[in-house]
């Protein structure tokens, strides 16, 4: 099978495509530094760097030249999610209500040139990956802001009859990934076998292999399963914060206050709920933190959470801001300064995975965040021959690594899905196959 990759980033998602024997001919990525990482890891692929709107015709022409008269099987597209992501929705809604931002985020329109390319190349199957919010994100049907369609309906409108579609919000922990990461996977196809399969079963997705409690499936792969054996680190000083024997197994230092908060935070809990550590008091009934939705539907943390022990008056090890000797509780999400649980998959790894204040990113038991090395394991990158190098020879920064992990989905989970798609295409799995009737389908 032959494919092209759009919005390719550093190529982490493309590892799954390549693993299933699909030949990627052409790729496109806006960012040069991300494209340089892609080029190093996929030297056989023609990478076109630049804005997809401006490079659309070049992508089409280059692909046709590579195909040499053969058909294109797959367009794999992962457009940016910043206009859709729940992390930024509250702020975006506020700006829209104030008239400071267009109702339709320009980034959400990037699906349009992707569809233009798909149709121009007469490809058989479009596979898209994005945040679950894409399913309800609106864009103009015909360039008219008053005539809007959800992105999935817009794609169906553009493709017309003859295409079957199957959409699912996939929890990648359900496919053996030690990370709870949900993504909307959308498949549109006119491939004979794939269309027949979707029309017969209603879905193109394999049976999940794992679940939270097992019950006839494997239990979720946990943080303990993934990283319990990595060397111990501590964010208190330089010497204890890194392992010289393992590249990328290092963590940023925590200042004295943050270390105090983190070191008193139990597994699976947030520092905002820490109780009194005064040895002569030890009161555990201080009001815990929480959040409520305001009149605009924005989730905000409560402002009444105590920063001093309600029994002895001692300063609690909760995230605070101090100004001229006056303390107040730090504003932030209730999941900030929160430890992961060892016996669950990790929360979704984000671009801010190295910040203690980020969402649920503290190590389960050690006083630190995850190392980049541990993040690679949790993201299943340790299963692939992926190098953190650039074609132009420049150094790949830790910041770029965090961004590439945060912007991608775990390649192992995607590989499970791609294996199923490819097997259906080749007729190795049909609607009457035993795997469809409930048996596990593993890579």
Strand-pair partners of 339: 362
Mean pLDDT over 94-119 rounds to 74
Nearest 10 degrees: Cα torsion 381, 382, 386, 392: 90
CATH of 2-216+410-425, one of 3.20.20.30, 3.40.50.150, 3.40.50.300, 2.60.120.260: 3.40.50.150
- Say how far residue 303 (Cα) sits from the centre of its chain: 31
Between 65-79, 104-118, 330-344, 379-393, the lowest mean confidence (pLDDT) is in 104-118
Half-sphere exposure in the Cβ direction for 311 (13 Å, CA): 13
Between 192-201, 287-296, 319-328, the lowest mean confidence (pLDDT) is in 287-296
Mean pLDDT over 7-34 rounds to 96
CB count in 10 Å sphere of residue 235: 24
Between 23-32, 266-275, 294-303, 324-333, the lowest mean confidence (pLDDT) is in 294-303
pLDDT at residue 359 above 90? no
Give kind and range of the element (H or E) at residue 226.
helix 223-227
pLDDT at residue 92 above 80? no
Compute the mean pLDDT over every residue in the chain, rounded to the nearest whole number: 89
pLDDT at residue 102 above 80? no
d(CA 40, CA 287): 53
Backbone angles phi, psi at 66, to 5 degrees: -70, -35
Q: 């550590």: which residue's tokens?
A: 277
Mean pLDDT over 380-407 rounds to 97
Q: Which residues contact 312 (CB under 8 A, 6 or more apart)?
A: 276, 278, 280, 281, 283
Per-residue CA distances from 426 to 72, 172, 330, 349, 390 (Å) = 15, 25, 56, 34, 35
2-6/23-29 β-pairing? parallel
d(CA 247, CA 319): 31
Residues in the chain: 443
Instruction: State what percent of residues in the chain have pLDDT above 90.
Output: 76
Strand-pair partners of 19: none
pLDDT band at 105 (very low <50, low <70, confident <90, very high): low
pLDDT at residue 212 above 70? yes
* End-to-end Cα distance, the chain: 18
Mean pLDDT over 340-353 rounds to 95
Instruction: State what percent of residues in the chain have pLDDT above 70.
Output: 88
The string of pLDDT tens digits covering residues 53-62 is 999 999 999 9
Please, are residues 132 and 169 in contact by the beta-carbon 8 Å criterion?
A: yes
3-state secondary structure of 423: helix
pLDDT band at 439 (very low <50, low <70, confident <90, very high): very low
Q: 């394991």: which residue's tokens?
A: 377
Exposed/middle/buried for residue 183 (C-beta within 10 Å: 0-12, 13-18, 19+): buried
Domain boundaries, the chain: 2-216+410-425, 231-370
DSSP 26: E
Q: Give the pLDDT of residue 358.
A: 87
d(CA 243, CA 291): 38
- Say how far residue 43 (Cα) sits from the centre of its chain: 25
Q: Give the pLDDT of residue 304.
A: 81
Per-residue CA distances from 239 to 83, 205, 252 (Å) = 41, 47, 11
Tokens of 193: 């076998």
Task: Name which residue leads in pLDDT, 268 or 107.
Answer: 268
The string of pLDDT tens digits covering residues 299-311 is 566 778 999 999 9
d(CA 426, CA 328): 62
Instruction: Locate the DSSP E strands across 270-319.
Output: 291-293, 299-301
pLDDT at residue 145 above 80? no
Mean pLDDT over 413-428 rounds to 96
3-state secondary structure of 329: strand
Tokens of 360: 């649920």
Half-sphere exposure in the Cβ direction for 207 (13 Å, CA): 16
Half-sphere exposure in the Cβ direction for 293 (13 Å, CA): 5
d(CA 400, CA 394): 12
């Amino acid at each position: 099978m032959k494919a092209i990759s759009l919005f390719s980033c550093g190529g982490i998602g493309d590892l799954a495509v390549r693993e299933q024997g699909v030949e990627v001919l052409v790729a496109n990525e806006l960012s040069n530094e991300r494209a340089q990482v892609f080029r190093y890891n996929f030297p056989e692929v023609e990478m076109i760097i630049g804005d997809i709107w401006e490079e659309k015709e070049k992508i089409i022409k280059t692909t046709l030249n590579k195909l040499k008269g053969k058909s294109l099987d797959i367009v794999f597209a992962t457009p940016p999610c910043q206009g859709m992501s729940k992390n930024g929705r509250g702020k975006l809604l506020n700006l829209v209500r104030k008239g400071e931002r267009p109702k339709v985020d320009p980034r959400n329109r990037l699906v349009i040139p992707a569809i233009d390319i798909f149709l121009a190349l007469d490809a058989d199957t479009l596979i898209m990956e994005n945040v679950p919010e894409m399913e309800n994100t609106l864009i103009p049907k015909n360039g008219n802001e008053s005539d809007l369609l959800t992105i999935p309906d817009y794609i169906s409108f553009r493709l017309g009859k003859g295409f079957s579609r199957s959409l699912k919000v996939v929890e990648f922990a359900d496919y053996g990934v030690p990370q709870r990461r949900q993504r909307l996977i959308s498949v549109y196809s006119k491939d004979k076998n794939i269309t027949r399969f979707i029309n017969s079963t209603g879905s193109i997705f394999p049976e999940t292999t794992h679940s939270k409690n097992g019950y006839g499936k494997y239990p979720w792969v946990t943080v303990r399963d993934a990283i319990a054996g990595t060397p111990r680190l501590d964010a208190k000083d330089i010497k204890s914060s890194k392992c010289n024997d393992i590249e990328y197994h290092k963590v940023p230092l925590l200042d004295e206050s943050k270390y105090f908060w983190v070191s008193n935070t139990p597994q699976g809990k947030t520092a905002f709920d820490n109780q009194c550590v005064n040895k002569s008091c030890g009161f555990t009934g201080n009001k815990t933190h929480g959040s409520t939705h305001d009149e605009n539907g924005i989730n905000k943390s409560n402002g009444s959470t105590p920063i001093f022990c309600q029994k002895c008056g001692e300063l609690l090890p909760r995230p605070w801001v101090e100004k001229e000797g006056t303390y107040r509780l730090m504003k932030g999400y209730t999941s900030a300064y929160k430890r992961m649980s060892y016996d669950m998959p990790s929360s979704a790894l984000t671009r801010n995975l190295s910040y203690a204040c980020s969402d649920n990113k503290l190590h389960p038991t050690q006083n630190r965040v995850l190392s980049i090395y541990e993040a690679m394991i949790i993201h299943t990158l340790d299963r692939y021959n992926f190098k953190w190098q650039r074609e132009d020879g420049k150094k790949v920064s830790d910041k770029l690594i965090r961004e590439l992990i945060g912007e991608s989905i775990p390649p192992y989970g995607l590989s499970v899905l791609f294996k199923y798609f490819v097997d259906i295409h080749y007729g190795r799995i049909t609607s009457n196959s035993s795997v469809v009737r409930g048996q596990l389908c593993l890579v």
